[in-house]
Amino acid sequence: MTSLELFEVRKSYGAVAVLGGINLSVAAGSRTAIVGPSGSGKTTLLRIIAGFEAPDSGRVTVGEQLLADGPEMVPAHRRGIGFVPQDGALFPHLTVEGNVGFGRARNAPQRAERIAELMDMVALDTSMLARWPHELSGGQQQRIALARALAQRPRLMLLDEPFSALDTGLRASTRKAVAQLLGKAGITTILVTHDQSEALSFADQVAVMREGQLVQCGHPLELYLRPRDEAIAGFLGESIVLPAQLAGGWADCALGRIAVDDSQREGSAQIMLRPEQLQVAQVPADITEHGTDPAACYGAVLDTDFGGAVSVLTVRLLRRIGAAISQPAGVETRNAPLLLHSAGLRAPPVGALVRITVAGQAHVFSD
| Contact footprint for ligand ATP (CB under 6 A) | 13, 18, 36, 38-44, 86
Q: What is the closest distance, in whole angstroms, from the C-beta atom of residue 31 to ligand ATP in the complex?
A: 19
In the bound state with Mg ion, the residue whose beta carbon lies nearer, of 39 and 186, is 39
Residue 256 · residue 295 · CB < 8 Å: yes
In the bound state with ligand ATP, the residue whose beta carbon lies nearer, of 212 and 275, is 212
Identify what 196 binds: ligand ATP, Mg ion, none; CB under 5 to 8 Å per kind: none
Identify what 216 binds: Mg ion, ligand ATP, none; CB under 5 to 8 Å per kind: none
Identify what 256 binds: Mg ion, ligand ATP, none; CB under 5 to 8 Å per kind: none
In the bound state with ligand ATP, the residue whose beta carbon lies nearer, of 86 and 126, is 86
Q: What is the closest distance, in whole angstroms, from the C-beta atom of residue 35 to ligand ATP in the complex?
A: 9
Q: What is the closest distance, in whole angstroms, from the C-beta atom of residue 221 to ligand ATP in the complex?
A: 24
By CB under 5 A, name the one of 32, 40, 43, 188 that touches Mg ion. Answer: 43
Which region, judged by CB under 5 A, interacts with Mg ion, from 9-17, 35-43, 133-141, 267-275? 35-43
Q: What is the closest distance, in whole angstroms, from the C-beta atom of residue 159 to Mg ion in the complex?
A: 11
In the bound state with Mg ion, the residue whose beta carbon lies nearer, of 83 and 298, is 83
Q: Measured between alpha carbons, how far is residue 154 from residues 49, 148, 158 in Å?
A: 13, 11, 10
In the bound state with Mg ion, the residue whose beta carbon lies nearer, of 86 and 357, is 86
3-state secondary structure string across the chain: CCCEEEEEEEEEECCEEEEEEEEEEECCCCEEEEECCCCCCHHHHHHHHHCCCCCCEEEEEECCEEEEECCEECCHHHCCEEEECCCCCCCCCCCHHHHHCCCCCCCCCCHHHHHHHHHHHCCCCHHHHHCCHHHCCHHHHHHHHHHHHHHCCCCEEEEECCCCCCCHHHHHHHHHHHHHHHHHCCCEEEEECCCHHHHHHHCCEEEEEECCEEEEEECHHHHHHCCCCHHHHHHCCCCEEEEEEEECCEEEECCEEEEECCCCCCEEEEEEECHHHEEEEEECCCCCCCCCCCCCEEEEEEEEEEECCEEEEEEEECCCCCCCCCCCCCCCCCCCCEEEEEEHHHCCCCCCEEEEEECCCEEECCC
Q: What is the closest distance, in whole angstroms, from the C-beta atom of residue 34 to ligand ATP in the complex?
A: 8
Identify what 306 binds: Mg ion, ligand ATP, none; CB under 5 to 8 Å per kind: none
Identify what 154 binds: Mg ion, ligand ATP, none; CB under 5 to 8 Å per kind: none
Burial status of residue 189 (CB atoms within 10 A of its CB: 0-12, 13-18, 19 or more): buried
In the bound state with Mg ion, the residue whose beta carbon lies nearer, of 43 and 245, is 43
In the bound state with ligand ATP, the residue whose beta carbon lies nearer, of 38 and 107, is 38
In the bound state with Mg ion, the residue whose beta carbon lies nearer, of 43 and 304, is 43
Per CB under 5 A, does 142 bind Mg ion?
no
Which region, judged by CB under 5 A, interacts with Mg ion, from 40-48, 103-111, 235-243, 265-273? 40-48
Q: What is the closest distance, in whole angstroms, from the C-beta atom of residue 230 to ligand ATP in the complex?
A: 20
Per CB under 5 A, does 32 bind Mg ion?
no
- Contacts to Mg ion by CB under 5 A: 43
